[in-house]
Amino acid sequence: MERRFAKGLQFGVAYTYSNATDNSSDLTDTLPDAYNDRAYKGTSDLNRPQVLIINYIYELPFLKGSSTLWHRLLGNWDISGINQFQSGNPFSTQDIAGVGPGSGNQFWNQVSDPTDVQKTEFTNSAVWFNKAAFARPANGTWGVQPRNGIYNPGFWNFDVGLRKNFPTFEGQRLQMRFEFFNVLNHPNWGGANSNPTSGQFGLVTSKSGNRTIQIAMKYIF
């Protein structure tokens, strides 16, 4: 949905609900079971079930114009922003299953619901899924689990821009720009550890998303 610029306002809203499947998301991948590619078919590594993006530009109406000194000094502000909300990426728990060199990463067996974190050995804010839901397959055998059956934490972010225009002459103007990336300083959690042999298996231990401020000035003619 889009509203074209009119009366000082423009905005757009884009929402996507989707599902992508394949049997190899990377063309360089080797299927873990070369004799049974159907068993590897499932949710694509690229799948993001829900994505919402909102953008807007709004010219603040107070003291708008260039007729007086007060208008020039205090008015002529506009604000813009991009807000993004997105599902996390899917993944599988995997490790070398003992089927020989060059075999790639193999699934572990999924034996219960990985989303039931009450079954974990301990509960804290870093636990993302139930690591007890997976068991090591016997050497020389293929583990069984839905491919990419778990999703990492989602992502959301607010970017905001504030601009002050100083009209000069003949339609020219001096513009001061204040831009805030991740204006709320909101942390987006990193991916969960998917290696069953790691001591941090099932935990989210990283984050990203520090606020960044950029100030600029330009002359438009």
pLDDT in tens, 13-46: 999 999 999 887 765 454 555 555 666 788 898 9
CA torsion angle for 112, 117, 121, 127 (degrees, to 10)?
Answer: 130
Specify the pLDDT at position 119. 45
pTM: 0.79
pLDDT tens digits for range 43-84 = 898 999 999 999 999 998 876 766 677 766 777 899 999 999
Specify the pLDDT at position 99. 55
Q: Which residue has the higher pLDDT, 191 or 24?
A: 191
Residue 214 gets the label, from left (phi > 0), alpha (psi -120 to 50) or beta, of beta
Evaluate whether 209 touches 187 at the Cβ level (below 8 Å). Answer: yes
Both structure tokens of 109: 């067996």
Specify the pLDDT at position 176. 94
- CB-count burial class (<10 Å; 0-12, 13-18, 19+) for 131: buried
CA distance 92 to 111: 14
